[in-house]
Structure 1
Amino acid sequence: MTNCTITNLRINYRNNPVGTDDAKPRISWQIDTEARGFVQSAYQIQVADRSDFESEIIWDSKKTDSDKNVHIEYAGPVLKSHTRYYFRVRIWDSKGDQSEWSEPGHWETAFMFADEWQAYWITAPVQNDDLENEACDYIRSEVSLSQDIVSAKVYATSLGMYRLYINGIPADDTLFNPGYTSYKNRLQYQTYDVTSLMNSGSNAIGCILGNGWYKGYLAWEGENSHYGNTRALMIQMHVTLADGSEQVFISNDRWKVSTGPILMSEIYHGETYDARLEVEGWSSPDFDDQHWESAVVIKAPVSALVAQENEPARIIETLKPVAVITTPNGDTVLDMGQNMVGFVEFTVCAEVGTSITLQHAEVLDRDGNFYTGNLRSAKQTVTYICKGNGKETFHPNLSFQGFRYVKVTGVPEDQLLEQFLGCVIHSDLEKTGSFRCSDELVNQLQHNILWGQKGNFLDVPTDCPQRDERLGWTGDAQVFIRTAAFNMNVVPFFEKWLKDLAADQEEDGRVPHVIPDVPVAGYGSSAWGDAAVICPWTLYQCYADTRVLETQYPSMRAWVEYIRAQGENEYLWNTGFHFGDWLGLDAKENSYIGATPKDLIATAFYAYSTELLAKTAAVIGKEADADKYTFLHKNIVDAFRQEFVTPNGRVASPTQTAYVLTLMFDLMEEQDRLRTAKMLAEHIEENGVHLTTGFVGTPYLCLVLSRFGYTDLAYQLVLQKEYPSWLYSVIQGATTIWEHWDGIKQDGTFWSDDMNSYNHYAYGAVGDWFYRVVSGIDLIEPGYKKIRIQPHMGDQFSWAEASFESVYGTISTAWNKQDDGTVKLDVVIPANTSAEVILPASSMDSILEGEKSLSQTSGLLKVEQSGSEQLLLLGSGNYSFTLTNK
């Protein structure tokens, strides 16, 4: 029997998911062992309908010779709807020894076929077209059960945003369902296990329904109803009784509708709640609803319905205010100490009719006054009218805000600090990465990167969470996705968003600038539309997920073919609208677009997306396409060199972004790359060790410098404190990443009101460099099946440590420079993987592992010398190296 334990069983990245419609769910597990060099040689998976596996086995993979332990597709009989399936795993090691069976995991199906929906779409009989004063709908029904309950599941969705209640209690802790999707093409429904909330006898189902993203205001032109102008709800409940029978309850015209205390709820504008209008017991059984109106059935398709794919939004943590400020203007303002996304919960005691108002903002102006200019038309205002019978606790229901500061009116100051709480809300993504080092300013920068991701990963990857925008900008998503994948497990989040991208993609292959599509935003820019290719490929690289490539391949190909069809030369992209190097600091006066020619950027990304498309085709077995797009890529690179590189091998446009893109995407002749990198370094140094790059160049800047031997310069850039730099905003007190390098100028004035978010993650892409270069965690094979460990231990830090939870398990590095000149490096490599560890040592004799020489180190498979470095091939395990001065 092998000495290991099978742990962390997952179905499609989730532990014991409820409510999937995947016909071939993928099974993964991790291996926990103290043994070094552990390799799986075979596995066996069994699936049954009982956790004891004593009934008939539904699927048995039998012993399968393979070292694969991630993303193994279920290959048994067709799955039934509304069914729980149990699975367990055992493995064999490289010696042929067998493990114990794992503890069982499970998953539960929802609707496997659209025609199983029996429920009707229902809505209020009268629609209010005045969105400024549109109350939310309160919808209810009752069900009667004659026996004890074994199981009760609710399947629910809406055109709008809803919150579900069972017998007066929220069905679960998720928020803002059904989420933000390409509603006409793909609408998620949620599955709720409400068994513990149901009783024999009378039960009530209640639902609050608001506008949400579906009908509410979106984008900056003051328009609403982008996806529809009629809110609607659909609910189906399946109850299994003690005798084994099943009862099904559906939404129909016998359900009742009214209004309640939520008089207005909007994504941008906040919420107005009049507690005097509360209807006690409205979602509980035996409530008298005879004066409520009957719901109206409307026609809406069910073919677009898909089970919940991404992680839902929840309150993830809470923050107490750190101070109460009285501004020079006399306003009372709470400082949460952190720019955050979510809402404020408060408890007050006040007379009936007292109006309490909360306005939300990210920063104070240079005089210390409350500032909302950068919100543009978004009001971000919560109004609560008290009912006046003692303590009252409230938080918004169907709206969220982006803020650090809260201006409060109507509350005595002595009730502010202890009775107000910031509820931090984002998609409930598993945190997978951490990075720390000896420089506290850099640690704060990493904190800001993570909090920028928290605030903007709320159902879709948004550009900002506060102003009248909050849209899924494709360019921002593609430049940040690699960093995001270190910080959190982002696969289900991005897989859902990429399916929306494909659904919203135009017939000619154009990709909207924002996903889900809001037409006012536009279509088809390079580096933005390239998210269609870059994001799936990045997910494949980070998680070894070939399904995302297979699913997105038609979209990826359509985007490249769209570019190919533009202009007269199929190998250049020199036509159409492009954002260019957005917010590049070398832009002309009063321009948002940097100095790097747009057609250079467009053609560079055309080459890059085509290269990735060819690689994708090869991975998923489309050999003819792989050859086709490899040939196309070669021709694009040749055309790029003819158009944008001089005959003697110089980039024709000598900007930092031009240098970075040509090097990052291998667009220069190989013999010209080192000189081009030297020119980039000289450009940065001549600019006072400052960057001039915008959204397009910045994410790759430090990576390119390190790749070509300029890591010390990359360190200097990252540690630069003067504007423009990453640390400038940190020194200015930022707690998230800014949209502009000088969002707040040195004199305390603002860049502008027009476009000045203080929570905008794009420039946080430098986090990728922290993990891959400073801490040295990178991949050789997709999913980190084979890892490269090569920390660049610059003189600027005395220590650095990082940890990353890969699909195989934890990868970590921690290096520390000792007073005697030696360097300690601790490395963790997960079971069933291997790693190349590259150490700065001139000989293997100058390296100890533990207290032993390398020749005595177990788990060490190979040592090679390469100049002044030693390359160690290691099996899995925990290692502690000491690099001496010998």
Structure 2
Amino acid sequence: MSAVHDLRVEYLQSPIGIGTRTPRFSWIADHAQDAYELVVTAGDRVVWHTGVVESAESSLIDYAGERLASNTAYRCRVRSRAGDAWTDWVTSAFDTGLLDADDWVASWVEPAQQDAVVERWSIVDWIRGLGPQTPPEERLRPPQLLRQQFVVREELVRARLYATARGVYSAFVNGRPADDQVLAPGSDSYEHRISVQCYDVTAALVEGENVLGVALADGWWAGRLGLTGSSAQFGTRTSAIWQLHLEYVDRTTEVTASGADVRSTTGPWAYADLFVGEHYDRRAVPTAWDRAGFDDGEWMPVAEVGRDHDVLRSFIGEPIRRVLKRAAVEVVETPEGAIVDFGQVIAGRVRRGPRDQLRGRPRARLRLHRRRAAVLARALGVSRNRVRVSGDNHRIQSLTAIDTGAPAAYSH
């Protein structure tokens, strides 16, 4: 029997937070389609019904129904005809994001911080090997932790968090990551648009006290970019903005927005930079900082720095996510530490395991960094052509372990 599958909206499977009132629908028919029928509903109400359309098209069909509302859940279904035989209906869903600037009531919030150091290096400087002469600890600044407490009533049925930052951020709800993406909102043309991420956090919320936590770092906004590593190309101070929309079974709604009640502090990082790397001290993580009951009395208030909502746009596409775990293919011990080869160029993070080798060792430290190709080649005893290092993409990592005890396995 013929069938239809993979019904998508704006190229995505069941997306939430889409930023258009005219989404496009696509599906795959495993037969020679000569007609289709597509229906979009909001609850029990039909907002668009194409009727039978005599067409073989099944890609990027423009929505042409009632005006879609912001922050609303919709369902869609499609079936296809080949000759006289119709397929079964295939269903999917999508949520709209905050489609108008007027949907935003939140303020941009800026934690207490020092201005990022402005560094400018030309291509000529880079060719000559010129650059910073001071260590990262003296040039870079720590990321910030932000937290906001709020109350959820009983019988919550839907919760959507809309968030973004001038910088990069990770959001947490009651100690749980809001999503599996990293380095949100990504790289943007900040003068013209800042991408907003939408998270379904319904399952993370509880009746009563809840906490939204945000870790905020320089990222592409204030960090080092490009071939030469020049910094602060868009701004010198990071900030964030978010709105949490709650919907209850009785159809009442509430909004929790970033504002003056947000508190902040420096986190477990001495610094974190896309170009330079990060210095992270796990011992300095405030226990349960992103959960209810934590005492943030010594944290600092944030500054509200405006309500510039016109640049906010729903994120388009797939975010940066962890997509695989890859074990090291070779580990070479040297007097300077371990040289770890992952067998291919990868952009990612390195994990040393098993974890219990470091647990309970208060002085255990790991120094992890990329090395110049020629240095690594000499350490491995291979030709330079084998070692490929390009920006944040790398095949080789060098690691120095201090007071760590037993040998370790490495994965990326």
User: Which runs of 5 or more structure 2 residues have no equivalent in the other structure?
Assistant: 118-137
Aligned residue in 1 for 2:5? 7
1:234 aligns with 2:232: no
SS at 1:365's partner residue?
helix
Cα shift at 1:278: 1.5
Aligned residue in 1 for 2:152? 145
Give the TM-score of the pair, scaled to structure 1.
0.42
Aligned residue in 1 for 2:399? 407
Aligned residue in 2 for 1:306? 313
How many Å separate the matches in 1 of 2:165 and 2:103? 17
Aligned residue in 2 for 1:358? 368
1:41 aligns with 2:34: yes
Cα shift at 1:132: 2.4
Aligned residue in 2 for 1:343? 349
Aligned residue in 1 for 2:411? 421
C-alpha offsets along residues 679-701 of structure 1, whole Å, 9 cap, x if unaligned? xxxxxxxxxxxxxxxxxxxxxxx
Aligned residue in 1 for 2:282? 275
Amino acid at match of 2:217: G
How many Å separate the matches in 1 of 2:389 and 2:12? 36
C-alpha offsets along residues 808-836 of structure 1, whole Å, 9 cap, x if unaligned? xxxxxxxxxxxxxxxxxxxxxxxxxxxxx
Structure 1 residues 411 and 319: alpha-carbon distance in aligned structure 2, compared to 1, 3 A threshold: farther
Contact preservation (8 Å) 2:269, 2:278: yes
How many Å separate the matches in 2 of 1:28 and 1:357? 48
The within-5 A match list for 1:315-334 is: 315-327=322-334, 331-334=337-340
Choose which of 92, 117, 123 in structure 1 pairs with 2:110: 123
Contact preservation (8 Å) 1:88, 1:101: no
Amino acid at match of 1:337: G
Aligned residue in 2 for 1:68? 57
Cα shift at 1:221: 4.0
1:260 aligns with 2:272: no
How many Å separate the matches in 2 of 1:274 and 1:225? 25
Aligned residue in 2 for 1:59? 48
Choose which of 165, 176, 187 in structure 1 pairs with 2:183: 176
Structure 1 residues 191 and 310: alpha-carbon distance in aligned structure 2, compared to 1, 3 A threshold: same
SS at 1:182's partner residue?
coil
The within-5 A match list for 1:85-104 is: 85-93=74-82, 95=83, 97-104=84-91
SS at 2:90's partner residue?
coil
Structure 1 residues 129 and 15: alpha-carbon distance in aligned structure 2, compared to 1, 3 A threshold: closer
Cα shift at 1:361: 4.1
Amino acid at match of 1:116: D
Amino acid at match of 1:170: P
Cα shift at 1:12: 1.3
Cα shift at 1:359: 1.7
Contact preservation (8 Å) 2:18, 2:315: yes
Amino acid at match of 1:76: G
Cα shift at 1:262: 1.2
How many Å separate the matches in 2 of 1:260 and 1:127? 14
Amino acid at match of 1:65: E
C-alpha offsets along residues 516-550 of structure 1, whole Å, 9 cap, x if unaligned? xxxxxxxxxxxxxxxxxxxxxxxxxxxxxxxxxxx
Cα shift at 1:148: 2.5
SS at 1:64's partner residue?
coil
Aligned residue in 2 for 1:666? none
**Which ranges of 4 or more aligned residues in structure 1 deviate by more than 6 Å?**
373-376
C-alpha offsets along residues 825-864 of structure 1, whole Å, 9 cap, x if unaligned? xxxxxxxxxxxxxxxxxxxxxxxxxxxxxxxxxxxxxxxx
Aligned residue in 2 for 1:368? 380
Give the TM-score of the pair, scaled to structure 2.
0.87
Structure 1 residues 134 and 310: alpha-carbon distance in aligned structure 2, compared to 1, 3 A threshold: same
Cα shift at 1:171: 0.7
The within-5 A match list for 1:204-603 is: 204-299=211-306, 301-327=308-334, 331-346=337-352, 347=355, 348-349=357-358, 351-361=361-371, 363=373, 364-366=376-378, 368=380, 402-410=394-402, 412=404, 414-417=406-409, 420-422=410-412
Cα shift at 1:401: 5.5
How many Å separate the matches in 2 of 1:119 and 1:300? 7
Contact preservation (8 Å) 1:339, 1:362: no
Amino acid at match of 2:366: I
How many Å separate the matches in 1 of 2:231 and 2:143? 16
Structure 1 residues 330 and 157: alpha-carbon distance in aligned structure 2, compared to 1, 3 A threshold: closer
Contact preservation (8 Å) 2:339, 2:396: no
Structure 1 residues 236 and 369: alpha-carbon distance in aligned structure 2, compared to 1, 3 A threshold: farther
SS at 1:183's partner residue?
coil
The within-5 A match list for 1:816-835 is: none
Name whichever structure is richer in strand by fraction.
2
- Aligned residue pairs, count: 383
Amino acid at match of 1:66: S
How many Å separate the matches in 2 of 1:241 and 1:404? 51
Structure 1 residues 66 and 272: alpha-carbon distance in aligned structure 2, compared to 1, 3 A threshold: same
SS at 1:343's partner residue?
coil
C-alpha offsets along residues 302-351 of structure 1, whole Å, 9 cap, x if unaligned? 11111110210111001112232124x55322222232110102234263
C-alpha offsets along residues 582-605 of structure 1, whole Å, 9 cap, x if unaligned? xxxxxxxxxxxxxxxxxxxxxxxx
C-alpha offsets along residues 595-626 of structure 1, whole Å, 9 cap, x if unaligned? xxxxxxxxxxxxxxxxxxxxxxxxxxxxxxxx
Contact preservation (8 Å) 1:43, 1:63: yes
User: Which runs of 5 or more structure 1 residues have no equivalent in the other structure?
Assistant: 33-37, 379-399, 423-886
SS at 2:221's partner residue?
helix
C-alpha offsets along residues 448-503 of structure 1, whole Å, 9 cap, x if unaligned? xxxxxxxxxxxxxxxxxxxxxxxxxxxxxxxxxxxxxxxxxxxxxxxxxxxxxxxx
- State which drifts further: 406-415 or 200-209: 406-415
SS at 1:408's partner residue?
strand
Amino acid at match of 1:343: R
How many Å separate the matches in 1 of 2:404 and 2:287? 28
Structure scoring higher RCO (CA < 8 A, sep ≥ 6) equals 2
Bigger Rg, which one: 1
C-alpha offsets along residues 30-60 of structure 1, whole Å, 9 cap, x if unaligned? 113xxxxx4222111111124xxxx332111
1:190 aligns with 2:197: yes
SS at 2:203's partner residue?
helix
Contact preservation (8 Å) 2:388, 2:394: no
How many Å separate the matches in 1 of 2:66 and 2:404? 65
How many Å separate the matches in 1 of 2:309 and 2:265? 25
Structure 1 residues 13 and 352: alpha-carbon distance in aligned structure 2, compared to 1, 3 A threshold: same
Cα shift at 1:409: 2.6
Contact preservation (8 Å) 2:365, 2:404: no
How many Å separate the matches in 1 of 2:365 and 2:338? 15
Contact preservation (8 Å) 1:162, 1:176: yes
Identity of aligned residues (%): 27
SS at 1:196's partner residue?
helix
How many Å separate the matches in 2 of 1:367 and 1:344? 20
How many Å separate the matches in 1 of 2:224 and 2:286? 28
Contact preservation (8 Å) 1:24, 1:74: yes
How many Å separate the matches in 1 of 2:32 and 2:152? 53
SS at 1:276's partner residue?
helix
Amino acid at match of 1:356: L
Amino acid at match of 1:205: L
SS at 1:414's partner residue?
coil
Choose which of 83, 102, 113 in structure 1 pairs with 2:100: 113
SS at 2:272's partner residue?
strand
SS at 2:206's partner residue?
coil
Aligned residue in 2 for 1:704? none
Structure 1 residues 321 and 31: alpha-carbon distance in aligned structure 2, compared to 1, 3 A threshold: same
How many Å separate the matches in 2 of 1:362 and 1:7? 48
Structure 1 residues 117 and 42: alpha-carbon distance in aligned structure 2, compared to 1, 3 A threshold: same
Contact preservation (8 Å) 2:35, 2:52: yes
Contact preservation (8 Å) 2:70, 2:97: yes
Aligned residue in 1 for 2:20? 22
Name whichever structure is richer in helix by fraction.
1
